[in-house]
Amino acid sequence: MSPRRSILLAALLGSLPLPAAAQTPLRLDRADYFEAPGVDWLIFSNVNEGLFADAKISGVELIQQGLRTATNGDVRLSATPGQWDPAAQFVSRRVDKAAGVIEAVMEYPGFRYTVRAERRGSAVVLSVLLDQPLPAELVGKAGLNLEFVPSAYFHRSFTSDGKPGLFPRHPADAMTLTPERNAASGRSDGPGAEPLPFASGQRLVLSPEDASRRVGIATASGSLSLYDGRNQAQNGWYVVRQLLPGGRTGKVVEWTLEAASVPGWLRPPVIGHSQLGYAPDAPKLATIELDRDDRRSQQPRLLRVGGDGRMTPVATPAARDWGRYLRYRYVRFDFSGVKTPGTYVLQYGDTRTAPFPIAAGLTDTSWHLSSDVYLPIAMDHMAVNEGYRTWHGDPHRDDARQAPINHEHIDLYRQGPTTDTRFKPGEHIPGLAVGGWLDAGDFDIRTQTQYQVVRELVDIWEQYRPERDTVAVDWTTRRVEIHVPDGTPDILQQIRHGSVQLLAQYDAVGHAIHGIVEPDVGQYTHLGDAASKTDGLVYDPSLKPYARAYDRDGGRSGTPDDRWAFTSKATALDYGSAAALAATYRAWKGRDDAFAKLCLDRAVKVWKDEHSHAPDLFRHGNTTGGPLEAEEFGAAVELLLATGDRQYAERVTALTPAMLKGFAFSATTMVKALPAMPPEYRAALVPAVRAWVAEAAATEKANPFGVPITTGGWAGNGAVLNFGLTGYALHRAFPELVDGAAVGRALDYLHGHHPASDRSFVSGVGALSKEVAYGNNRADFTFIPGGVVPGVLLLKPDYPENRDDWPFFWGENEYVVPEGAMYIALANAGAALEREEGRQAVAAR
């Protein structure tokens, strides 16, 4: 390094937030990232993956005092890139711990580069290296970006070359038109726009007043710009950016990054426990999550809350070290011996939990919000009202237009080389504007969701018969009133609503379709009232754009805002739909026999049709059904239970070997068939049941929470729910082999006994729950009562995350309808187990 460069770098380091002597040098020895007390710099531990590239988990990332505040440090082609904007592909990563260097090789088509991060005392020197000059078409577009989550900097200041400023609470920057931006991202809603920076300079200091968020960024040459991505989209972040120069190779950009560390800083303890509370005779485990460097020896305390506010310590066994999981150390506190009903809190050091009850019957009612509020709000093609509040009007009355052929949609839908219908691409398909549930984060009707939820709700009805009636559904006026009884059990109404959409697909095109979804990004990203996303009028290409015409059959519009139906035939979807319709028959038989018969007749016809020809194997994303054999098996089981016809039993027997190979996912359906199958079928399941028990025991030891914790880009509450429901199904069928412990562990996990936080993952359930989540009202930083979020996302290599301050992390906080239905089932299973254990206790006495 030249003397002149050394002098310049020293000057830049001297201008950063803290004097070098006050900062702790970064280390790169016990993990593959740079760390100091309260500071972790991850360098391409996580990379963009496929369709959902901009999950805000990529490139250079900063975890400061336990909170991930920065991400997507990489070369990007726009100042505030969004989910569908180009992102580089990961090529390779190299970690040299001895030299204190981490490098990642990345590439765009025709453009490869290296991002190098080098430890230098308490700072990271971040640079972009080019072997070839930047392609001419990328000059003025490609730049080094680093994004900071706005919620971490609300109500805070920054300086730019010493000039003070405040971070904007709401964006209001000047904009410049960029029509090519929309073309690149697939939008069709007019020209795009980019914000202009709200600050620039050689040296930026974020939050100088607060060491917990203080970050300094200095460039060796040129200028840094600070943008607010929320000018384009509500989920945008603050972005620091510097353009890459043209005509140069080698080190073309160099930043010095320094995040304020605090010597001796330790992450505050998190006391994982059930926010809902515990039944008196239930196991009661709390798990204290500690900083890995926290060596203090403390004991948690259980305090009983008196009516006068006094906190009385309760005698409990001493807590024990569990060990390390991911980046934290865990202490296990078992207070199962406390059975006295009352209100309690847990305390560890200065950390105290919210109150929780020990009482009987807590899960008798914990599912009510999911059934009373969440599922009704998710109903498409219905106006939904709650007291003074209208959740949404009657949406998508203009459903749906035939999707274009050979078209891949932005969200896992694809139309094949033909429509597989009598309709031409773009033509209106009558009859689809009925029934179905909206994805709570978006507004599509995914058929696989519809039949999964219908079957789950039928299981709930058949096992528990919940007669709860708090929602009025008027099918004629297409209106729903929450908290208003109408004489029909709510679960049955929801079963009907999902099945109506499945029936409509057969009436409209003759087979199950992938689903109905917005045609472009402009509509896909719509937030707010679903009814305002389209004009509700069927598109008529003979009308001028935006013109409207009305006649005796209703209205037509020259606005092509109608959703698209993706209709390529997939046998897996037909089997899944047949299964749901056969199940619906059983639920509605005796209450509306005509509707029940309609469902069963359709299910039988679908089964017969599918067995008359080779299967249609079209597959794409997660919208064309599960594995074919599994979907056929589900249809065979539901039809067998509906009809008793032995042809379905024969098919169950034939498919059993295949289902046993994936028993963890097929067990609940396999167990449903037991009453209608011969003894040898039960015997065939026993080895798989024993294997599941062994796997569950291993899971109990694999992490401090005793449930499967997944590591994908979508967090794993679905796997936790399935674990609990499988455990209950096997316990009912094989009580001599399987206890009900999985149910309690799964419920406790969902209610707050999990990594990263102690929040209940069921919004509105428990003293502290998810109250900032990814529903269609996420821009308001609020929630949908009774919704279940995906949960804890494990970022590589060792960081568990679930954010309560930023709703736009879809992988952690997006509600989806199946998890809501599964939670209703699991809570009812918990209630049933509690009653069963109570009966056993009485018998024992």
Q: What is the DSSP string of 300-345?
A: -EEEEEPTTS-EEEE--PPPEEEEEETTEEEEEEE-TT----EEEE
Q: Is the torsion defined by CA of 90, 96, 97, 103 positive or negative?
A: negative
The DSSP element (H or E) to which 722 belongs, if any, is: helix 717-733
- Per DSSP, 615 falls in state P
The pLDDT value recorded for residue 9 is 41
Which residues of the chain are modeled with pLDDT < 70?
A: 1-22, 50-53, 179-191
Contact 451, 624 (CB under 8 A): no
Nearest 5°: phi and psi at 814? -90, 120
pLDDT at 180: 64
Please give the backbone phi and psi of residue 555, each rounded to the nearest 5 degrees, phi first. -110, 155
For the record, the structure tokens of 621 come out as 């994303």
Residue 265 half-sphere exposure toward CB, CA atoms < 13 A: 18
CATH architecture of 270-364: Sandwich (2.60)
Whether the Cβ atoms of residue 343 and residue 304 lie closer than 8 Å to each other: yes
DSSP strand pairing (793-795 vs 351-352): unpaired
Contact between 561 and 423 (Cβ < 8 Å): no
Distance CA 58, CA 75 (A): 11
Sequence ranges of the domains in the chain: 3-259, 270-364, 367-626
257 contacts 217 by C-beta, under 8 angstroms: yes
Give the Cβ contact number of residue 645 at 10 Å: 14
pLDDT for 7 equals 39
Beta strand residue intervals within 369-474, DSSP E: 383-386, 389-392, 401-402, 407-408, 414-415, 445-446, 471-474
For residue 178, the model assigns a pLDDT of: 80
CATH architecture of 367-626: Alpha/alpha barrel (1.50)
Quick check: do 270-364 and 367-626 share a fold?
Answer: no
Calculate the average pLDDT of the chain: 94
For residues 400 and 536, is the Cβ–Cβ distance under 8 A?
Answer: no
pLDDT of the residue at 721:
98
Q: List the one residue out of 224, 229, 218, 206 whose CA is nearest residue 155.
A: 206
The pLDDT of residue 427: 97
CATH number 3.90.1570 is the correct assignment for the domain at 3-259: no
Give the per-residue pLDDT at 363. Answer: 98
Burial 247-280 (b: 16+ CB within 10 A, else e): eeeeebbbbbbbbbbbeebbbebbbbbbbbbbbe
> End-to-end CA distance of the chain, in Å?
83
Predicted pLDDT at 179: 67
**Which one, of 631, 577, 572, 633, lies nearest residue 604 by Cα?**
577
Count the Cβ atoms, other than its own, within 10 Å of residue 132: 10
Backbone phi, psi, residue 506, to 5°: -70, -40
